[in-house]
């Protein structure tokens, strides 16, 4: 919508190249934006090839590569075109970019990644000296971010280029599948005799996913290998070898750090829970034994205490107590359930093994305190927040007209968000009784009402005002989102784990950690039920022997009982899920399984996972369990 607003007074054509998405975006574009020139690919051609498809048929004097995860100001296009017309030597232009929290993105202006520059960047020296002309040439930290500068490298998120320059130097190099192609083309523009400029007098929001991707091994290999391709293409053989050496060193260092960091982050809290609980149980035993003058078998105690602690840890893991962000109150229900299971199991033990109900009860109370305290401390250390507030619902401030605020509230309440306090903020003069203030007072409103997230109604608030408001807020923890007019979604930063991903309001995705655990548990329980009832299955399933094999494969985690129908999609087009014995359209007659129907069922299953969905599909498709 921001692009549509920005081209109203400009003779422009807009291309959207879709790389075989399955989220319904192609149909949405055809319906809501018929003026867009859509190129719908049947496979993922990569960033370079996809953009080249549009650039080859574009007829404008200027060509802009614009990421889909961006929001531009209403006068952005007018300003940048005017600058390019006043500077005929300009072959390319980039603008000031801010992230989903209104913070300046340093990749708005970049220098050529020479071996020396890359060395300082890769090994973190540029971070130590962010304003150094020598050590931070990668992000040109020594240049004023509020002034126009001649630069070497543009960002592919917003890359405005003169078509005559492209006719001379060529389009994106398709040897780059993802990452590095913007660096390559920017440098070729400079080599072709043109200049690239950084233009800060307009801004865009870039809801980029880079910070999240940097934590993955795939990002490390793909990004740095793109740098190797660039070096071999543009540097001398000697410099290219030196660059490749640094890159390969960086790949293994970053990969090692990524694996180590991920392992340590995942194991430190469970270890703290286990160690503290075990230590507490022995303290309880010591004082209780002293007071009751009892002696306990040390082997029995050790076995019991390890069993107790493992059950409590497992129940908390199953209940989401190890998920980010840490929420102390998340452990209460799982620990009560785990303790109840232990108490029931205890009652069935032989008398010789039932050494003390009191220690079990006191241990359960201790575990509650330990698990709660560990998460309370962890929440403060990680996010400077106790983690208790969100249990009572997120606190929103919605900026816009009354009608739009009510529409956004309806969207919020249809999601998994627990909506707590909602502050109505007027887009202009405060003229409504239920408003707490105006957009100009937003900073104060956030502080006074302890707001977690601000949502701007794009129908009532211009992109310029949205970006200005975001940049002017001093509270760093608050999240910003934008509600497009008439849309059934809200875009912004992922409020669960990162602040950098483009995000459609949280639905109960099958890829969420808690749903992965529940789905795996259901798979195991169903496998047990099916194994016990296997003799009866002879009269139901098509092949009892294949059914037995499926039970074994699901039990060991090679398959899941219900997965996606991948007939018309590739592996990477859907969330990561093991192959299913059944699939989302198993219960649909074969003649009725159209491509669109299968894709819609896949999307619904991925976006709104419920245990009942699995049970429904299994019940309707019982004969196929042996296929």
Residues 133-142: tens digit of each pLDDT: 999 998 999 9
Dihedral angle over CA of 274, 279, 281, 286, nearest 10: 170
pLDDT at 350 over 50: yes
Q: Out of 179-183, 271-275, 475-479, give the one with best mean pLDDT.
A: 271-275
pLDDT at 77 over 80: yes
Structure tokens at 99: 């992230």
Task: Read off the pLDDT band of 83 (50, 70, 90).
Answer: very high
CB 38 within 8 A of CB 26: yes
Using one digit for the tens of pLDDT, what is the confidence trace for 19-43?
877 556 777 788 778 889 999 888 8
% of residues, the chain, pLDDT over 90: 34
pLDDT at 266 over 90: no
CA neighbours within 13 Å on the CB side: how many for 165?
27
SS3 117: helix
What's the mean pLDDT when you consider all of the chain? 83
pLDDT at residue 256, as a whole number: 74
Distance CA 193, CA 181 (A): 19
pLDDT at 420 over 70: yes
Distance CA 412, CA 417 (A): 6
DSSP state of 103: P
Using one digit for the tens of pLDDT, what is the confidence trace for 143-173?
999 999 999 999 989 999 999 999 999 998 8
Distance CA 159, CA 67 (A): 9
Contacts 24+ apart (CB under 8 A), 521-524: 521/318, 522/561, 522/611, 522/614, 523/554, 523/555, 523/560, 523/561, 524/554, 524/555
Range list of H helices, 543-594: 544-555
Using one digit for the tens of pLDDT, what is the confidence trace for 546-593?
999 999 999 999 999 999 887 766 544 567 788 899 998 888 888 778
> Which residues lie below 8 Å from residue 511, measured CB to CB, with a gap of 6+?
575, 576, 577, 606
pLDDT at residue 1, as a whole number: 65
Distance CA 305, CA 348 (A): 17
Burial class (CB in 10 A: 0-12, 13-18, 19+), 246: buried
Distance CA 202, CA 64 (A): 15
pLDDT at 55 over 60: yes
Topology of the domain covering 393-492: Rossmann fold (3.40.50)
Residue-range domain boundaries for the chain: 2-109+145-235, 263-383, 393-492, 513-626
pLDDT at 416 over 60: no
**Tokens 């078509």 -> residue:** 163
**Nearest to 234, CA basis, from 187, 288, 269, 286:** 187
Least confident of 4-13, 194-203, 223-232, 438-447: 223-232
pLDDT at residue 476, as a whole number: 61
% of residues, the chain, pLDDT over 70: 83
pLDDT at residue 339, as a whole number: 93
Dihedral angle over CA of 5, 436, 417, 462, nearest 10: 10
For residues 377-383, average pLDDT: 76
Is 523 or 324 the better-scoring residue by pLDDT?
523
CA neighbours within 13 Å on the CB side: how many for 264?
6
Task: Read off the pLDDT band of 495 (50, 70, 90).
Answer: very low
**Residue 243 host element (H or E):** helix 237-292
Distance CA 358, CA 285 (A): 10
pLDDT at residue 399, as a whole number: 93
Structure tokens at 42: 């049947």
Distance CA 387, CA 373 (A): 11
Structure tokens at 226: 């793109």
**Tokens 């619902």 -> residue:** 393
Range list of H helices, 75-206: 76-86, 115-122, 125-128, 163-169, 181-191
> Which residues lie below 8 Å from residue 209, measured CB to CB, with a gap of 6+?
69, 498, 500, 501, 502
CA dist 157 → 79, 90, 469, 542 (Å): 17, 18, 22, 53
For 313, phi then psi, to 5°, come to -65, -40
pTM (predicted TM-score):
0.63
pLDDT at 342 over 70: yes
Least confident of 179-188, 302-311, 430-439: 430-439
CATH code for the structural domain at 2-109+145-235:
3.90.550.10
- Equal fold, 2-109+145-235 vs 393-492: no
Task: Read off the pLDDT band of 261 (50, 70, 90).
Answer: confident
Is 219 or 626 the better-scoring residue by pLDDT?
626
Using one digit for the tens of pLDDT, what is the confidence trace for 198-256?
999 999 998 764 434 444 555 556 566 666 667 666 666 666 676 667 766 766 776 67
């Amino acid at each position: 919508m921001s692009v549509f607003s920005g081209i109203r007074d400009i003779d422009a054509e807009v291309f959207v190249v879709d790389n075989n998405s399955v989220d319904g975006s192609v149909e949405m574009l055809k319906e809501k934006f018929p003026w867009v020139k859509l190129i719908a690919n049947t496979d993922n051609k990569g960033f370079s090839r996809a953009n080249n498809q549009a650039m080859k048929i574009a007829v404008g004097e200027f060509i802009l590569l614009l990421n889909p995860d961006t929001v531009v100001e209403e006068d952005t296009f007018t300003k940048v075109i005017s600058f390019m017309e006043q500077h005929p030597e300009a072959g390319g232009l980039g603008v000031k970019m801010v992230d989903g929290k209104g913070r300046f993105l340093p990749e708005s202006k970049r220098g050529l990644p020479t071996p020396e520059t890359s060395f300082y960047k890769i090994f973190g020296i540029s971070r130590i000296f962010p304003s150094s002309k020598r050590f931070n040439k990668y992000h040109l930290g020594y240049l004023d971010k509020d002034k126009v500068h001649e630069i070497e490298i543009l960002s592919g998120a917003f890359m405005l280029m003169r078509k005559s320059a492209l006719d001379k130097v060529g389009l994106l190099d398709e040897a780059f599948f993802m990452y590095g192609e913007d660096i390559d083309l920017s440098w070729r523009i400079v080599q072709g005799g043109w200049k690239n400029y950084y233009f800060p007098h307009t801004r865009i929001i870039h809801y980029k996913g880079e910070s999240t991707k940097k934590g993955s091994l795939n990002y490390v290999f793909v990004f740095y290998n793109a740098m190797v391709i660039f070096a071999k293409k543009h540097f001398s053989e000697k410099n290219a070898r030196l660059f490749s050496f640094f890159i390969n060193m960086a790949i293994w260092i970053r990969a090692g750090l990524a694996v180590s960091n991920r392992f340590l982050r995942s194991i430190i809290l469970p270890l703290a829970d286990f160690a503290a609980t075990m230590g507490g149980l022995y303290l309880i035993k010591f004082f209780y034994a002293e007071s009751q003058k009892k002696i306990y078998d040390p082997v029995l105690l050790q076995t019991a205490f390890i069993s107790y602690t493992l059950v409590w840890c497992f129940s908390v893991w199953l209940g989401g107590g190890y998920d980010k962000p840490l929420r102390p109150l998340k452990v209460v229900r799982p620990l009560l359930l785990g303790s109840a299971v232990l108490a029931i199991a205890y009652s069935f033990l032989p008398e010789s093994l039932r050494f003390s109900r009191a220690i079990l009860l006191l241990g359960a109370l201790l575990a509650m305190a330990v698990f709660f305290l560990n998460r309370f401390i962890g929440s403060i250390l990680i996010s400077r927040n106790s983690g208790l507030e969100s249990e009572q619902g997120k606190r929103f401030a919605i900026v816009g007209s009354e009608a739009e605020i009510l529409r956004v509230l309806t969207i919020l309440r249809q999601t998994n968000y627990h909506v707590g306090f909602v502050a109505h903020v007027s887009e202009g003069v405060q003229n409504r009784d239920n408003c707490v203030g105006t957009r100009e007072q937003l900073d104060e409103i956030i502080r006074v009402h302890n707001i977690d997230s601000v949502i701007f109604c794009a129908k009532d608030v211009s992109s310029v005002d949205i970006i200005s408001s975001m940049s002017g807020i001093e509270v760093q923890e608050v999240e910003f989102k934008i509600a497009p007019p008439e849309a059934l979604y809200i875009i912004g930063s992922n409020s669960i784990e990162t602040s950098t991903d483009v995000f459609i309001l949280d639905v109960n995705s099958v890829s969420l950690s808690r749903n992965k655990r529940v789905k795996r548990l259901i798979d195991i329980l169903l496998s047990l039920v099916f194994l016990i009832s296997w003799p009866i299955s002879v009269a139901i399933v098509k092949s009892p022997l294949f059914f037995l094999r499926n039970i074994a494969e699901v039990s060991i985690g090679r398959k899941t009982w219900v997965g996606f129908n991948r007939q018309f999609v590739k592996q990477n087009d859907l969330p990561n899920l093991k192959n299913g014995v059944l699939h989302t359209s198993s219960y649909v007659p074969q003649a009725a399984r159209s491509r669109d129907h299968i894709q819609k069922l896949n999307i619904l299953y991925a976006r709104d996972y419920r245990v009942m969905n699995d049970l429904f599909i299994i019940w309707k498709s019982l004969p196929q369990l042996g296929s």
